[in-house]
Amino acid sequence: MNKEELKLSIERTIKVKYGKTLDKALDYEIFNALSLSLLENIVDDWNETTELYAKGKQAYYFSAEYLMGRALGNNLISMGVYDEVRELLEELNININKIEEIEEDAGLGNGGLGRLSACFMDSAATMEIPLIGYGLRYNNGLFNQYVEDGFQVEDGDYWLKYGDPWSIRKESETQVIHFEDMDVKAVPYDMPIIGYGTRNVNTLRLWKAEPLKEFDFKLFNDQKYDEAIRLKNRAEDITRVLYPNDSTEEGKLLRLKQQYLLVSASIKDIIKKHKEKFGTVTKRLGELNAVQLNDTHPTLGIPELIRILVDEEGLTFDESLSIAKCMFSYTNHTILAEALEKWDITLIKELFPRILEVIQEIDKRFIAELKAAGYSGNAIKDYRIIYKKQARMANLAIHVGSAVNGVAKLHTDILKETELKNWYELYPEKFQNKTNGITPRRWLRLCNPELSSLITEVLGNEDWVRDLSLLKNLEKYVNDKSVLNKFMSIKHKKKEQLAEYVKENEGVTIDPDSLFDIQIKRLHEYKRQLLNAFYILDLYYRVKEDSNMDIPKITFLFGAKAFPGYKRAKAIVKFINEIANLVNNDKTINGKIKVVFVQNYRVSYAEKLCPAADISKQISTAGKEASGTGNMKLMLNGAPTFGTLDGANVEIVNESGRENNFIFGLEVEDIEELGKNYNPKDYYEKNPSLKRVVDALVDGTFDDGGSGDFEDLFDSLLEEGDQYYLLADFQSFKETEDKVFEAYKDKEEWAKKCFLNTCNAGIFSSDRTILEYAREIWMVERKSL
């Protein structure tokens, strides 16, 4: 990259876009100008990649979420120009870190589902896989989170307030989407996904809902201003917010509209490009296009494809269903019933009755197939796509999809052996496992440049950034004190950086010399942040009683958002903050324990937390977490896992060794054995330490502001059966944390545990995962410019 040309481009862009000179530009203006100048450098490669991919079979990823994080730093890394650009900005007296920090995280996703999609897009570009992502361009993300008096408070996530220089609006490729009550435009915004170490630039296409007409001129002229823009507002509402509250019928209808807009626009786009190549829709549509449904949200794509092929392209229903069975595959991300979507057919009929007719026809034909195969009425009802006036989206995806995959070995085994056992018996050939992964570009090369440099120094080259399995070659240095010292010195530096960031953003001082025990993930009862909170409170009580208690200084950090309508999750946020208030303000414990709930946890915050972690808390109830990817990010950055044998934790322990991690609690088989005989009161009454911390919910120790939320948490454990086994796992958790404290005393052995986790994280690269999808599900080949 020519630095002088880039400088001139930045200056020119600021002049044209903002009417000022570079020395007068604000940080966000410099960010936009720099981003647009960099975009100009990759557009030719982007267009060539699109043309190259169009010549053969392509894969498409349909996802309601893409939790991309910030674009600038990652794109500089992928383009291989980070250092050059930093030097140029230094010459211009501009701090690159300030410019990176001004960028808002793209509000396009929420949790692991969206972050996985983002990693897959990065890996597909780097591995030169012809994969196009389809999603929605939400004006606002989930929400920005603040803590006031310990309570979570939500505000709009205005991520577009400074503009979006990394997207190109493609007005000419707009699709019109029909709902029974209105028609809207789906306008595509294309985001480049820049491959690392390749010229390939893949595409993430995001649809924005807009009205066909900006406003009704006659109504406006009649001074009925609100009515004049009513249809505009209703159209834009569809992509206004990620996952709008669906506690009412109106909310459910809006969610359905979101899902249909995504799949309808995307299917129409695929067919349009197919017809541009072949003139008409042929059976080759299914042979040349593979669609991956990321969870059940995009499952309406199946009936929408069939509707278009039958009603608009003149194919028979049989031909259309056959194409659908060839094109679609389904990734299951959960065994939780609440996440396997079911939609009341009255809602589907209200918005798109023809789609309901298509689903009913698929169901009818499926029932006939089952009867012909000798299935009886009782067995058939479990397979029904429409049952009790609900459309079961997972059933539709499994029946029509050519492949069904889980996202960790344990998760896939549970699907085959229990949760989807009937489906596995019917379609054993469809079931596969694709253990999740993370991109090493963002989660090591970008967020931990110090450790990246050490790895490159030790291995002698940077090939590991494209082939993470090469980290295994670091193992031979596990007894090299010089390497270990450098490794742990970097860990301490990342802790210092995090401490500085927490002080600036949370107003809380934390000690980099303390043990950083970190639990960061979406807030849900099964992820058991409450169990961690109970342990911290118990530890606090024990330190109060024994000031000489032999434990290292420890800082517990939480990062999590609770969905606005999830009352118990929000109560857990409040409880953690009540504990933090108690512990952090008690001078008698001499600062031995610190508790911090970081506000507005997001990708850019995770990029600071993961490299600084000493312990990775992954404590979901065994059998409930499909995979997890936070566990992989923390492992890659040298944090041993403190967790249950759940999700990908099982594979993490297999790779890095049980002796280098801290496993506790009931396993899946233990929970199955306990079954209905589990009585949480037995644990509560027999363990005084446990009883004390659980009672703290209701004995006046803490104040829930009169909401009754803490009493509800108490009841969930003792009156409703403690469905996530917090009380059963408490003592094991406590004993295992003691093992952490003991292990942490031996600095050399602790360093080895951390180092060996990094050495063995290679298998968890999303590059490996995406190549497995390409080879074993989509049947697409790598193509390089």
Q: Which of 399, 522, 570, 602 is catalytic?
A: 522
- Tell me the C-alpha distance between 292 and 298, whole Å: 9
**CB 292, CB 331: distance < 8 Å:** yes
- Whether 629 sits among the annotated catalytic residues: the reply is yes
Q: Which of 633, 752, 753, 768 is catalytic?
A: 633
Give DSSP secondary structure letters for 700-763: SSS--TTS-HHHHHHHHHHTS--TT-HHHHHHHHHHHHHHHHHHHHSHHHHHHHHHHHHHT-GG
- Whether 633 sits among the annotated catalytic residues: the reply is yes
* Beta bridge partner(s), residue 134: 62, 205
- Tell me the C-alpha distance between 406 and 415, whole Å: 7
CA-nearest of 738, 511, 753, 749 to 612 is 511
CB atoms within 10 A of CB 492: 12
Q: Which of 115, 268, 527, 734 is catalytic?
A: 527
DSSP 274: H
- Whether 234 sits among the annotated catalytic residues: the reply is no
Query: CA quadruple 765, 768, 771, 776: dihedral positive or negative?
Result: negative
- Tell me the C-alpha distance between 291 and 354, whole Å: 22
CA angle, 630 then 632 then 633, to 5°:
65
- Tell me the C-alpha distance between 763 and 752, whole Å: 19
* Beta bridge partner(s), residue 343: 391
Question: End-to-end CA distance of the chain, in Å?
Answer: 19
18: which 2 tokens? 């903002």
370: which 2 tokens? 């089952």
- Tell me the C-alpha distance between 78 and 672, whole Å: 46
- Whether 527 sits among the annotated catalytic residues: the reply is yes
CA-nearest of 263, 220, 31, 34 to 134 is 263
- Tell me the C-alpha distance between 723 and 277, whole Å: 54
Q: Which of 333, 486, 752, 753 is catalytic?
A: 333
CB atoms within 10 A of CB 613: 28
- Tell me the C-alpha distance between 645 and 619, whole Å: 9
DSSP 445: I
Kind of pairing between the strands at 175-179 and 404-406: unpaired
Q: Which of 203, 239, 439, 629 is catalytic?
A: 629
**CB 136, CB 62: distance < 8 Å:** no
* 3-state secondary structure at position 38: helix
- Tell me the C-alpha distance between 106 and 113, whole Å: 15
- Tell me the C-alpha distance between 751 and 744, whole Å: 9
Q: Which amino acid is at 113?
A: L
Instruction: Report how far apart, in Å, the C-alpha atoms of 600 and of each of 156, 226, 355, 604 are.
Output: 12, 34, 38, 10
- Whether 476 sits among the annotated catalytic residues: the reply is no
> Could you give the residue numbers annotated as active site?
333, 521-522, 527, 629, 633
